[in-house]
Amino acid sequence: MKLTDNVLRSFRVAKVFRENSDKINCFDFSPNGETVISSSDDDSIVLYDCQEGKPKRTLYSKKYGVDLIRYTHAANTVVYSSNKIDDTIRYLSLHDNKYIRYFPGHTKRVVALSMSPVDDTFISGSLDKTIRLWDLRSPNCQGLMHLQGKPVCSFDPEGLIFAAGVNSEMVKLYDLRSFDKGPFATFKMQYDRTCEWTGLKFSNDGKLILISTNGGFIRLIDAFKGAVLHTFGGYNNSKAVTLEASFTPDSQFIMIGSEDGKIHVWNGESGMKVAVLDGKHTGPITCLQFNPKFMTFASACSNMVRNWGVSFSE
């Protein structure tokens, strides 16, 4: 089934999960779309079965806290950052709830974590103004970049380059094989002192980059030229909350939640808003992602909500 404006407008809440007592700070779909895993400020990690639509397991990271959880390529393993005690990244086996490896090095909170789509490499960005490159098989940092400000970072869909957003005003593109030579492209954006960048994502076709902010707008830029294609606004974010924006898997639509529990959807080509959906959330929608394989997406405040599309012919 193809995603269209009408199909997106037809999405309805299918299920609400109330497993958490505090804000869900991150979630991630498995590459096959069959499970989704969440991390929360209540120190819990909850694994959900997307096909049966129910929680499967809950694990806890009470000592270190848990944030920015990401699936690796091996089934049943995740990496996540800590939000208590230290700033070490942890590699966890969900199967037996045991740590496989620790990745120490950052000296301040990790604010960005991106797994390579093709291998065991991942990158992390921290408030210590560095981006570190890691390999799951080694606890030692494989590469270190010092930046001028707070970074956000992400791999492209081929895993060949990564983008770093620095100081909320420029995007730098690095070739993974020669990143120590510096960026091969730098795009300078208009600086907006009312907000800062909170996330950066490539579209699945690799042609677009989506920049999230803690203000009332998000930006869509051309991944090759750096030109701003659209600025999307008109959603509520008065308290400077970090709201996750996402592409649909076909790279055609952009979605973000808002502090009033609504989900806003735009057409990436025309820049027009095509839907405002009621997410049935009690608080700001801090996390929002589309399932990579199935016609559902998930959104989260302290509750996790599964939304699904109703199919009909136009």
Instruction: Determine, yes or no, domain membership for 253.
Output: yes
Instruction: Determine, yes or no, domain membership for 314.
Output: no
User: In this predicted model, what pLDDT tens digit does every residue of 52-73 receive, in sequence order?
Assistant: 888 899 998 888 888 999 999 8
Structural domain total, the chain: 1
How many C-beta neighbours within 10 Å does residue 139 have?
15
State which H helix or E strand residue 8 sits in.
helix 5-9
Instruction: Determine, yes or no, domain membership for 278.
Output: yes
Distance CA 101, CA 135 (A): 11
Closest CA to 272 of 229, 309, 226: 229
Q: What is the largest CA-CA distance in the chain?
A: 54
Question: CB of 122 within 8 A of CB of 115?
Answer: yes
pLDDT band at 309 (very low <50, low <70, confident <90, very high): low
Distance CA 72, CA 135 (A): 11
Instruction: Determine, yes or no, domain membership for 136.
Output: yes
Predicted pLDDT at 205: 96
Q: Which domain range does residue 135 map to?
A: 5-308
Q: What is the CATH number of the domain that holds 284?
A: 2.130.10.10
313 pLDDT more than 60? no
Predicted pLDDT at 1: 65
Burial class (CB in 10 A: 0-12, 13-18, 19+), 225: exposed
Distance CA 233, CA 120 (A): 36
Instruction: Determine, yes or no, domain membership for 120.
Output: yes
Instruction: Determine, yes or no, domain membership for 161.
Output: yes
- Beta strand 208-213 with 217-222 is antiparallel
Instruction: Determine, yes or no, domain membership for 241.
Output: yes
Q: What is the mean pLDDT of residues 88-105?
A: 93
Instruction: Determine, yes or no, domain membership for 60.
Output: yes
pLDDT band at 312 (very low <50, low <70, confident <90, very high): very low
